[in-house]
Amino acid sequence: MSQPSASGDWIDLLHWNQDGLIPVVTQESGSGRILMQAWMNRAALAETVATGRAAYWSRSRNRLWRKGEESGHFQEVVEIRADCDMDCLLLSVRQAGGIACHTGRQSCFYLRLSNAAWEAVEPVLRDPKTIYKHS
Amino acid sequence: MSQPSASGDWIDLLHWNQDGLIPVVTQESGSGRILMQAWMNRAALAETVATGRAAYWSRSRNRLWRKGEESGHFQEVVEIRADCDMDCLLLSVRQAGGIACHTGRQSCFYLRLSNAAWEAVEPVLRDPKTIYKHS
């Protein structure tokens, strides 16, 4: 990973939305599995690049969210890509613990549309109560 | 694919943003390759489900965008998933022509962050001039 600052041209080239955020898709390196979709602001992206660990902007908590800060389920960043419009990022990561979702599943995308209903199709690998100290 | 209407409970369960949109990540079935990220409104999602072909909402053109309508690069939908927060969709598709990006590349995510710069790391498979009649 390179170690650019939060104000570099590479950051300014990205299209940040009206809230100063960009959507981020996080994919497991190797398997290609989509783990989650979240958002970053400039500070989160700069920290992600500087530390090599994914940090996002939590819209619900309105603060920087260092993925794994409570659960230990950090994401080691292998590669960062941007799309042709420069308005979305794709993170390739190694997922600590093999669990990205707060429900204890590997991926957040565990709901499959089936006969006009959302059906949970992936197993809970770990009880969320044992993941989060404060849940 | 099931064939629910645009007003079904399954659509109302999703969290649509203030513009009535939801982000969509589109992944190639089999390879797991991320092809693109776009947006849908309710009508686009309903049409996608009804036809089995991906339709998005184009924010730049402010209209329904049937992927492939000009290029012939349709996306046949294999599966639709939602994430734990119900605020993002993941489409698994078969990509006609093997090209999702308007630049003629397989994936829109062809820019890799490398030494504080975005570097194009994937080949143009087809000249965009030969893809779009009106370009």
Q: Encode B37-47: b = buried (16+ Cβ within 10 Å), e = exposed.
A: bbbbbbebbbb
Q: Encode B50-83: b = buried (16+ Cβ within 10 Å), e = exposed.
A: eeebbbbbeeeeeeebbbbeebebbbbbebbbbb
Cβ <8 Å between A79 and B113: yes
- Strand pairing partners for B93? B28, B77
Radius of gyration of chain A (CA): 15
pLDDT above 70 (res A4): no
Q: Does B116 touch chain A (CB under 8 A)?
A: yes
- pLDDT tens per residue, range B86-127: 999 999 999 999 999 999 999 999 999 999 999 999 999 999
Provide the pLDDT confidence category of residue A17 given band limits of 50, 70 and 90: very high
Sign of the CA dihedral A50, A54, A55, A57? positive
User: CATH assignment of A9-97, given 3.50.50.60, 3.40.50.300, 3.10.20.810, 3.40.50.620?
Assistant: 3.10.20.810
Provide the pLDDT confidence category of residue A36 given band limits of 50, 70 and 90: very high
Indicate the residue of B23, B79, B84 with minimum beta-carbon distance to A23.
B23
Write the CB contacts of A41 (distance below 8 Å, at least 6 apart in sequence).
A16, A20, A21, A22, A57, A64
CA dihedral A124, A126, A128, A133 (to 10 degrees): -170
Give the DSSP letter of residue B97.
G
* pLDDT value at residue A134: 56
Domain ranges of chain B: 9-98
**B interface test, pick of A12, A34, A102 with most B CB neighbours within 10 Å:** A34
* pLDDT value at residue A133: 66
Average pLDDT over residues B22-47: 97
Q: Which residues of A touch B86 (CB under 8 A)?
A: 111, 118
Average pLDDT over residues A43-47: 97
As a residue count, chain A comes to 135
Question: What is the rounded average pLDDT for all residues in chain B?
Answer: 92
* pLDDT value at residue B1: 45
Distance from CA of B71 to the nearest CA of A (A): 17
User: CATH assignment of B9-98, given 3.30.420.40, 3.20.20.70, 3.90.79.10, 3.10.20.810?
Assistant: 3.10.20.810
Q: Residue B22: how many CB atoms within 10 A of its CB?
A: 22
Q: Residue A99: how many CB atoms within 10 A of its CB?
A: 22
Cβ <8 Å between A82 and B118: yes
pTM, rounded to two decimals = 0.92
Sign of the CA dihedral A27, B24, A100, A86? positive
Distance from CA of A44 to the nearest CA of B (A): 15
* Pairing mode, strands A111-113 and A118-120: antiparallel
pLDDT above 90 (res A34): yes
Angle at alpha carbon of residue A102, lines to B4 and A81, rounded to 5°: 80
pLDDT above 80 (res B17): yes
Distance from CA of A34 to the nearest CA of B (A): 8
pLDDT above 60 (res A5): no
pLDDT above 80 (res A89): yes
**Cβ-based contacts under 8 A for chains A and B:** 114
Question: What is the rounded average pLDDT for all residues in chain A?
Answer: 92
Write the CB contacts of A95 (distance below 8 Å, at least 6 apart in sequence).
A28, A35, A73, A75, A106
Provide the pLDDT confidence category of residue B4 given band limits of 50, 70 and 90: very low
Half-sphere exposure of B127 (CA within 13 A, CB side): 4
Give the DSSP letter of residue B135.
-
Q: Does B62 touch chain A (CB under 8 A)?
A: no
Write the CB contacts of A122 (distance below 8 Å, at least 6 apart in sequence).
A105, A106, A107, A110
pLDDT above 50 (res B2): no
Distance from CA of B70 to the nearest CA of A (A): 18
Q: Which residues of A touch B109 (CB under 8 A)?
A: 81-83, 88, 90
- Three-state secondary structure call for residue B104: coil
Which helix (H) or strand (E) element contains residue B46? helix B42-51
